[in-house]
Amino acid sequence: MSSFKTRLLIALFLIIAVTWAYPETGQQDGLIHSLLSYATNTDYDVSRWLESIWYDQELSPASSTSALRLPCSYTEVVRHFGWYYNARTGDQAFNPGVVLRIESGTLVYPVLRGEVTSISLQENGYQVVLKHSEALTSVVRGLREVRVEEGETVDESTPLGRGAELLYLELKNQDGPINPEGFLASENPV
Whether pLDDT at 119 is above 90: yes
Q: How far is 148 from 160, CA to CA, in rounded Å?
A: 6
pLDDT value of position 187 = 56
Say what the pTM is: 0.64
| Rounded mean pLDDT, 108-128 | 96
105 with 142, same domain? yes
32 with 78, same domain? no
Q: Which amino acid makes up residue 36?
A: L
Residues of the chain by 3-state class (helix, strand, coil), percent to 5: 25, 35, 40
pLDDT value of position 66 = 45
The residue from 36, 60, 84 where one domain ends is 60
The CA-based angle 85-90-95, given to 5 degrees, is 35
The residue from 60, 87, 102 where one domain ends is 60
Q: What is the residue range of 52's domain? A: 3-60
106 with 170, same domain? yes
34 with 54, same domain? yes
pLDDT band at 30 (very low <50, low <70, confident <90, very high): low
Percent of the chain with pLDDT over 90: 52
Chain centre to alpha carbon of residue 5: 17
Q: What is the mean pLDDT of the chain?
A: 80
- Contact 126/167 with Cβ under 8 angstroms? no
> pLDDT of 67-101, one tens digit each?
788 899 999 999 999 999 988 899 999 999 999 99
How many residues comprise the chain?
190
